[in-house]
Structure 1
Amino acid sequence: MADRRNVFLYYHPTNEVEEKLAPLIEVAKQYNFDIVSNYQEANIIISIGGDGTFLQALRKTEFQEDCLYLGINTGDHIGFYTDFTLNDIDSIVAAMKNEQVEVRKNNLIEVSVNGEKPFYCFNECSIRSNVIRTFVIDVYIDDMHFETFRGDGLIASTPTGSTAYNKSLGGAVVDPRLKAIQLTEISSLNNNEYRTLGAPLILSGDSTLTLKVVQDGNDHPIIGADNEALSIRHCHDIKVNIADKQVKMLKLKDNSFFQRVQKTFL
């Protein structure tokens, strides 16, 4: 980290957060870090808030591949992406000085809607009906038609995001060191006309997942990129691949993915 000195802070400004940030900024200056106002000038990006804020920080700073991302919570709660808290700045300093942190790389998925410019997701991309009725999606794996889905929606998630929305739908928890895409159903309808796998499906990182929306009057679905809904009015198809770029996160060595899973769910 010796050559990384430009720090960008991403947070939702409130009087309480600004007050808690002051000691952190002072410590950063003592150790010769520069706080920059433009994330494109930074090589360290710090998210101040919970896991939701961390996901927003990634998107708002365009998933900078040459930066280290660090999550710091504003309260006492430690999340999946926040190993530190603003209430204990001494622990942050000690972890950095004693080399208790390491860089972990997380794969992203690259998503393209209607062949337009692709965007990235850290957790998942979801497609859901925006009206109170089911809709139909033809699911293709590479160039093979796999199934015709009818239901409320589908989620394509990364291993990192397997513990989020995906898990609440009965999806598998996947080791983030694996390069994979998981497809999980949202309330599928199975009858004599429509038949789906009815279980989460994990694809290799070399696969391309294509979801083609059958245009039957319900062709304006809600498309979610992590925790943000996208303003896409008309959707014909969605293509999902493992992205070429990765996100580098600064994490505590003694807080692995499965340790966090254990603490959170068991």
Structure 2
Amino acid sequence: MKVAIVANNVPHTQKVKDRLIQKFIDRHFDIDQQAPDVVVTIGGDGTLLSAFHQYKDRVDKIRFVGVHTGHLGFYTDWRDDEIDDLVVSLQSDNGQSVSYPLLEVQVKYQNEAQREVYTALNEVVLRRSGTTMMTDVYIGGEFFERFRGDGLCVATPTGSTAYNKSLGGAVVHPSLNVIQLTEISSINNRVFRTLSSPMIIAPNDWITIEPEGAEDFILSVDSDSYPKSKITEIKFKVSKKKIHFAKYRHTHFWRRVQDSFIGDGYDN
């Protein structure tokens, strides 16, 4: 098995990384940062998100395993004191995996013939810098609404627990092959009306938005921002690709939600 390690720069994380590398060497694993079969991330969800984008061109060929050095994350199943057990699981690997949907984004810029294509694990956000954004929204090719507000967020099911949730979006189980559109501070009055509710979009439907007028849009794909020339159209759809996690010990999704947002105890 060829393995790669991606870790954040926190000193404790680097110590865990060094220990794991030595264990891989002792057990004759092939450490290959270029073309691995399994990518082990050490840190938190942000580290795994970074690793996903580092290997996004090979996402169909690899599986991810997350080791957390803080609190349990949505993409990390192992604690930093369990790396011996993790190595044993890797040694007895039988190729099992659990797969989650990704988001495909096609962006058309003014005066550019080719669309830019991005893939997101969590979400894509479109905003304007310092003023109201206006855009027509189409679902499945049919006009749905004219949006006015701060911006729009399109999230995957796994991303539904991130920025999308803070916007009032629904938490969606990652076994559902869907995406979610959530408004950011929409303007609703006697003149301007939007649905003002998150929408779950089926896998066979595109979301198309056509922003109006400005050249100061900021497009964010997961943790990366793309301020660029005028955006004339963006299309969103459930990607044909998926991210795969090695299924050695995969924490139940609702257990992750409960642990992250509610905790084990409650006040009477």
Structure-2 residue corresponding to 1:264: 260
Structure-1 residue corresponding to 2:111: none
Residue 236 of structure 1: SS of its match in structure 2?
strand
Residue 197 of structure 2: SS of its match in structure 1?
coil
Structure-2 residue corresponding to 1:117: 116
Equivalent position to 2:64, from 46, 49, 69: 69
Q: d(CA) in 2 for partners of 1:12 and 1:123?
A: 19
Q: d(CA) in 1 for partners of 2:118 and 2:39?
A: 20
Structure-1 residue corresponding to 2:102: 108
| Aligned CA distance change for structure 1 residues 143 and 37 (closer, same or farther; 3 Å) | closer
Cα deviation, 1:217-260, whole Å, max 9, x if unaligned, reads x3321111112212433211110011111110125546111110
| Aligned CA distance change for structure 1 residues 186 and 252 (closer, same or farther; 3 Å) | farther
| 1:38-117 equivalence runs, <5 A | 38=34, 41-63=35-57, 64-73=59-68, 75-93=69-87, 95-96=89-90, 103-114=97-108, 116-117=115-116
Q: Under a length normalisation based on structure 2, what TM-score does the superposition of the two structures give?
A: 0.88
| Aligned CA distance change for structure 1 residues 197 and 252 (closer, same or farther; 3 Å) | farther
Q: Is the 8 A contact 2:149 2:187 kept in 1?
A: yes
Q: Is the 8 A contact 1:100 1:252 kept in 2?
A: no
Unmatched segments (≥5 aa) in structure 2 = 109-113, 263-268
Cα deviation, 1:1-44, whole Å, max 9, x if unaligned, reads xxxx1111122446554332222112222333111232xx2111
Unmatched segments (≥5 aa) in structure 1 = none
Q: d(CA) in 1 for partners of 2:12 and 2:249?
A: 30
| 1:1-266 equivalence runs, <5 A | 5-13=1-9, 16-38=12-34, 41-63=35-57, 64-73=59-68, 75-93=69-87, 95-96=89-90, 103-114=97-108, 116-131=115-130, 133-215=131-213, 218-251=214-247, 253=249, 255-266=251-262
| Dislocated runs of 4+, deviation >6 Å | 97-101
Q: d(CA) in 1 for partners of 2:94 and 2:33?
A: 28
Q: Under a length normalisation based on structure 1, what TM-score does the superposition of the two structures give?
A: 0.88
What CA RMSD, in Å, does the superposition of the two structures yield over aligned residues? 2.1
Residue 118 of structure 1: SS of its match in structure 2?
strand
Q: d(CA) in 1 for partners of 2:18 and 2:169?
A: 41
| Aligned CA distance change for structure 1 residues 8 and 97 (closer, same or farther; 3 Å) | closer
Q: d(CA) in 1 for partners of 2:208 and 2:150?
A: 17
- The number of residue pairs the alignment matches comes to 256
Question: How far has the Cα of 1:172 moved from its partner?
Answer: 0.5
Equivalent AA in structure 2 for residue 43 of structure 1: D
